[in-house]
Amino acid sequence: MIRSFLPPWWAKNPHVQTILPVFTKIKPPVLSRQRLELSDGDFIDLDWVGDPSNASSIIVILHGLEGSSDSHYIRRLLRDCHRLGLCAVVHHHRGCSGEANRLARSYHSGDTQDISHTLQYLQQHFPQAQLCAVGYSLGGNVLAKYLGELQDNSAIERAVVVSAPLQLSACAKRLEKGFSTLYQWHLIKQLREKLTDKFNDRTIVNEASITPEQVGTLKTFYQFDHQVTAPLHGFEGVDDYYTKASGFSYLANIKRPTLVMHAVDDPFMNADVIPLTHQCSTDVTYELHQYGGHVGFIDGGSPFKPRFYLEQRILHFLMTIG
């Protein structure tokens, strides 16, 4: 029986929900790494727990912006999968596995080609396994878009989308206000560092629309996405990118059982990401919680050892039959 989500009194602040988990990482199980080579000369790294050759199901995990299998939410899910004897694999977005990707381009919020490649590989090599998926934040947007694009042809049978910025423009604007600007500053700093490394390695020199000296002037997601993300990935500009990459409009086309979870107090987004009933297909279960922050959902324990709602909710939904 799944318990309902209710945070303790000390975790009702959205920033406690968002930040505290980062500082309470647990030890994950031992993972095995696999590299998939891509037709464009780049690669994707997968981190595995469990043996896929004998698995009846595989849980495919998509991390958020600048995340990895080392992210706090990924560690916890992998630990619980290991405890339950479930097979799971982390699909790393390009350049997020600890090694820079080879091309000037990397990944973006609407990039469903790479996850499609990973899923096709899994179907081909482990045909006995049902594929389930969970996507967090940016990875959740990618997952929602993939499910809506593929519809009945989706390789994924059940999915969970957590704290996804389904309206990218609205979320970018939200991160320019109040305390949320600190999250933006932290993430933009990481993106600028990676961009600088690519200039230093000359990976991006011939394809960049800015100079190395201009990298430091990129302060917001709007600026970074307009001057870096959009041109490197074939979009006309930031507005074209945000419109085409946002997962919101794809919710109505999803043909697989999918749980979408948001928190009202998420500091990364606003009410624009919250769909009305008619904007979701009948296969979408939408849960809007009053509290939870961004990929937080602490529901007990203590500030020194918090307990989380996310993993049990995710696994309960993914492992439900029918």
Active site residues: 137, 266, 294
Which strands, in side-by-side order, build the sheet including 32-37? 32-37, 43-49, 87-91, 57-62, 130-136, 158-162, 258-263, 284-289
Specify which residues 44 forms β-bridges with.
Answer: 36
Q: Where are the extended beta strands (E) located within 22-156?
A: 32-37, 43-49, 57-62, 87-91, 130-136
160: amino acid identity, one letter = V
Q: Are 160 and 62 in contact (CB under 8 A)?
A: no
- Gap between the Cα atoms of 142 and 159, Å rounded: 12
Question: Which residues are within 8 A (CB) of 155 and not within 5 positions of it... i.e. 6 or more apart?
Answer: 116, 119, 120, 122, 123, 131
